[in-house]
């Protein structure tokens, strides 16, 4: 969680670099950024620009998870069901989530044209379905 927080802070500080990127909010863009994040997790030294790109991935996935959690709380409060959710264990890390998303994207190249938010949700749900 601490890594995700620092990644988000770094991303906000470096927003001018990200603004110049070719982010299309699709699976292909997400795979490119998340592949950089995995290289960082594996200890590879990357350029500052690539580090920002990898941090963007971590922040994007964390934001997607936060949205899913918020909807779960809304459903619980309103006693309704809006969508199927992911139920990751409390021990799941941000790094694990990024690796899950990268594997899912690589295993499903036919879906890379789809919105990144849908693909992240599908990847996490498939790995951590609610019982």
Q: Distance between CA 9 and CA 70 in Å, rounded?
A: 21
Q: In the prediction, which pLDDT does 7 show?
A: 54
Q: Distance between CA 52 and CA 60 in Å, rounded?
A: 12
Q: Which residues constitute the domain of residue 61? A: 2-127
Percent share of the chain, pLDDT over 90: 59
Q: In the prediction, which pLDDT does 75 show?
A: 82
What does pTM read for this prediction? 0.75
At residue 122, does pLDDT exceed 80?
yes
Q: Sorting pLDDT into bands at 50, 70 and 90, what band is 107?
A: very high
Q: Distance between CA 128 and CA 21 in Å, rounded?
A: 31
Reported as a single tens digit per residue, the pLDDT across 10-62 is 544 444 444 446 789 999 999 999 999 999 999 999 999 999 999 999 999 99
Domain count for the chain:
1
Q: In the prediction, which pLDDT does 18 show?
A: 46
């Amino acid at each position: 969680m601490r890594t995700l927080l620092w990644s988000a802070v770094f991303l906000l500080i470096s927003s001018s670099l990200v603004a110049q990127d070719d982010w299309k909010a699709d699976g292909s863009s997400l795979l490119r950024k998340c592949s950089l994040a995995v290289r960082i997790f594996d200890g590879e030294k990357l350029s500052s620009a690539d580090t920002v790109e990898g941090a963007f991935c971590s922040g994007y996935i964390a934001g997607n998870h936060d949205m899913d959690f918020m909807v779960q709380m809304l459903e619980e409060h309103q006693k309704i069901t809006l969508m199927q959710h992911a139920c990751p264990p409390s021990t799941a890390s941000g790094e694990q989530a990024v690796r899950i998303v990268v594997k899912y994207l690589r295993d499903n190249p036919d879906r890379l044209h789809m919105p990144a938010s849908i693909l992240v949700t599908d990847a996490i749900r498939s790995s951590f379905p609610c019982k």
